[in-house]
Amino acid sequence: MRAAIFRGAFAIQVEQIPDAALLEPTDAVVQITHACICGTDLWPYRGQGPYQPGWQIGHEWMGIVQDIGSEVRTIKRGDRVIASYDFCDGTCEFCLQGLDSACVQGGLWGFGHEGGQAEAIRACFADATLVVVPPEVEGDEALLKAILPLTDVMAAGHHAAVSANVRAGGRVAVIGDGAVGLCATLAARRLGAEQIIVLGHQPQRLALARQFGATDIITSNGDEAVQQALEMTQGGAQAVLECVGAKETIQMAVTLSRPGGTVGFVGAPHGQEVPLGHMFSSNIGLRGGLAPARAYLPELLAEVLAGRLDPSSVLDRTVSLAEVAAGYAAMDQRQAIKVMVRP
Amino acid sequence: MRAAIFRGAFAIQVEQIPDAALLEPTDAVVQITHACICGTDLWPYRGQGPYQPGWQIGHEWMGIVQDIGSEVRTIKRGDRVIASYDFCDGTCEFCLQGLDSACVQGGLWGFGHEGGQAEAIRACFADATLVVVPPEVEGDEALLKAILPLTDVMAAGHHAAVSANVRAGGRVAVIGDGAVGLCATLAARRLGAEQIIVLGHQPQRLALARQFGATDIITSNGDEAVQQALEMTQGGAQAVLECVGAKETIQMAVTLSRPGGTVGFVGAPHGQEVPLGHMFSSNIGLRGGLAPARAYLPELLAEVLAGRLDPSSVLDRTVSLAEVAAGYAAMDQRQAIKVMVRP
């Protein structure tokens, strides 16, 4: 079968690899119909982090079950399934409390495991990892495209909002206008926020933020942006959704929080610095991290199927598997927010 | 009247100042019967921070109401009242949500305002700031001594436990064996923690930690302490109560948290560094700060009066107001955990 392979910085190649096959009795083999390129995939693409040449890449995917191991109980051949970016055993302490991202046997697709930018994939812990999508969606490409972001970016945006305790009627600030920031905006609206200020710089993305529920937009930087946000919120946002992870944006997130507020951070953090003194004097909390996307999937899938949630617009370009390298280049050059791959 | 005045590093003097008197119709004048020296008072005592010579000092006190302003409604002459370390208006957004430490008109006793290590005090916003203690306590010095720490250190310990989501049956680590760490231990036990590990270095304080509910003690430092805590908890504590505020202890608090856990931090933080990457990968939250002590007072007072909470042992020395300088020296030299002052 064909799969995207990381060969070094700026070198994603589609190569022939052995067909996906069952290894464990708890595995399923899934034919991938839809996958995505993630902002996280751009790190190895840009030569950052310890991604090794030869590894498969891609952790966002869904498809049709081709085969199941002898111990798989909840999934059957022909089912459409979606996976979260992380696989998990479903039985450990952390899975049982809904924190699959900390699963003791878990991991991320790619990163030395099977990757999602491929024609098919061996899905380990199939009962725990895969969620069945009802057959009514078949043929409804708009609906399938709305479901696909639940694998990662929509879960991350939701996690930011949940971690920051977004409440109905509250004032929310979203830092970042990438796919996660846009999904966080959608999540904040869904949870009933009254004011949603999005801080970003890309006009097209900010226009989408408006569609997703942003009530105010801030395009300035640093202290000026913080001052604007403090004025707009009359003293700070109760919930700040940090969707970038830069040292400056984490600082900004704390600084524009209202006393007693919470920063939900889902941008992988660079650096270690946080304005701890301000957190202390104003009782501002900081919580977040890798989203427990598998735990969120059933709730968010039901919302999409009910027509109450539609993050599909973050997928603004589609490529075939053969064209995947062009998809990486488009995201790297910010010509696309997020690219869908159709193997 | 006589009051403790800060005159510079290591110079706390009892001086004659004008009698406490009503200034605003919302004031009360309280004759102070019991006060404390706080670990925080040691900062100016040691020449740290911006405390100005001539300022009164002391923010932990209770006493008997001598006079009330014309607009005071809930307090009357002769009432025994206790104040939290912070005064507050009781009407602002933050007071109404139980975060009096962020009151828009609030502040701390001392720090340029009236101080509690004195014969009497003008208490502003009397209706909001003061809590009436029922008259049955009069003459019961043991009970009064159990109530007094609610002004600050017991509230701080409780805030650490609440901020860290201490739950019945949970595994808790308390960093610090000072008065706040000891009160945090008591708070964790009261909230039903099953395992309470206290990290500290002073044998006498650690013995008191055992009395207060510690199930395990760790006296080693740094990585060794973290390793011991991780082993004892089989992978980390769900709630870590950081009661020191040093850069190393904040690092330690995050590192010995269990995935999905929370650090409740109430030690005023030094430095800005936090292991953000570990917080991110393991979804560890950080929340805390200045305790909303006024909001906690009614609940904690009821517990003390019912005999279910007794932090009095943290007050291991008593001095008269005239002897207050000796009290500071005893705390500075760690000859006392916490000193009670009887004006």
pLDDT tens for B248-278 read 999 999 999 999 999 999 999 988 999 999 9
**Residue A209 distance to chain B (closest CA, Å):** 25
Residue of chain B nearest A98, judged by CA positions: B260
Q: Find, among B302, B286, B278, the residue nearest to A264 by Cα.
A: B286
Rounded CA separation A116/A152 (Å)? 12
- Residue-by-residue DSSP string for A25-55: TT-EEEEEEEEEE-GGGHHHHTT-S-PPTT-
Residue in A80, A68, A72, A87 with CA at minimum distance from that of residue A132: A80
Distance from the Cα of A36 to chain B's closest Cα (Å) equals 22
pLDDT higher than threshold 90 for residue A147: yes
Percentage of the residues of chain A whose pLDDT score is greater than 70: 100
Burial grade of A333 (CB within 10 A; 0-12, 13-18, 19 or more): exposed
On average, the pLDDT of chain B sits at 97
Mean pLDDT of A286-315: 98
User: Does pLDDT of A22 surpass 90?
Assistant: yes
Instruction: Give the phi and the psi of residue A293 in degrees, each rounded to 5.
Output: -65, -35
CATH T-level assignment (fold) for domain A2-152+292-342: Quinone Oxidoreductase; Chain A, domain 1 (3.90.180)
Strands A339-342 and A28-37 come out as antiparallel
State the first-to-last Cα distance of chain A, in angstroms, to the nearest integer: 11
Average pLDDT of A177-190?
A: 98
B9 touches chain A (CB under 8 A): no
Q: Which of A274, A282, A290 to mutate to probe the B interface, most B CBs <10 Å?
A: A274
Q: What is the pLDDT of residue A3?
A: 98
Alpha-carbon span B171 to B115, nearest angstrom:
39
Instruction: Please indicate whether, in this complex, the C-beta atoms of B285 and A282 are within 8 angstroms of each other.
Output: no
pLDDT tens by residue, B69-108: 999 999 999 999 999 999 999 999 999 999 999 999 999 9
**Beta carbons of A285 and B290 less than 8 Å apart:** no
Tell me, what's the pLDDT at A50?
87
Contacts of A280 in chain B (CB under 8 A): 265, 268-269, 288-290
Q: For the structural domain made of A163-288, what CATH number should be given? A: 3.40.50.720
Give the CATH number of domain B156-288: 3.40.50.720
CB contact under 8 A, B260 and A287: no
* Chain A residues lying within 8 Å of B100, measured CB to CB: none
Smallest Cα distance from B260 to chain A, Å: 7
Averaged pLDDT for residues A218-228: 96
CB neighbour list of residue B11: distance below 8 Å, 6 or more residues apart? none
Eight-state DSSP code of residue B108: E
Eight-class DSSP state of A56: B
Residue window 57-116, chain B: list those with CB within 8 Å of chain A: 94, 97, 99, 101-102
pLDDT of residue B271: 87
> How many other C-beta atoms can be found within 10 angstroms of the C-beta atom of residue A159?
29
3-state secondary structure of A117: coil
- Domain residue limits, chain B: 2-152+292-342, 156-288
The DSSP line for B181-224 is: HHHHHHHHHHTT-SEEEEE---HHHHHHHHHHT-SEEE---HHH
Confidence at residue B50, expressed as pLDDT on a 0 to 100 scale: 87
> 3-class SS at B258?
strand
For residue B9, CA distances in Å to A165, B48, B137 come to: 44, 8, 37
% chain A with pLDDT above 90: 99
- Asked if A275 contacts A166 with a C-beta cutoff of 8 angstroms, the reply is no
Low-confidence stretches of chain B (pLDDT < 70) are none
Give the dihedral sign, CA A287/A292/A298/A302: positive
| Minimal C-alpha gap between A289 and chain B (Å) | 4
Q: b/e for B234-256, b at 16 or more Cβ within 10 A?
A: ebbbbbbbbbbbeeebbbbbbbb
For A260, the closest of B99, B279, B285 (CB atoms) is B99
Q: Determine the Cα–Cα distance for residues B187 and B201; give it in Å rounded to an integer.
A: 20
Q: A193 and A172 in contact (C-beta within 8 Å)?
A: yes
Chain B residues within an 8 Å CB radius of A288? 280, 283, 285
B269–A280 CB contact, under 8 Å: yes
Q: What is the mean pLDDT of chain A?
A: 97
What is the reported pLDDT for A133? 98
Question: What is the reported pLDDT for B284?
Answer: 98
Spell out which residues of chain B touch residue A268, defining contact as CB-CB under 8 Å: 277, 280
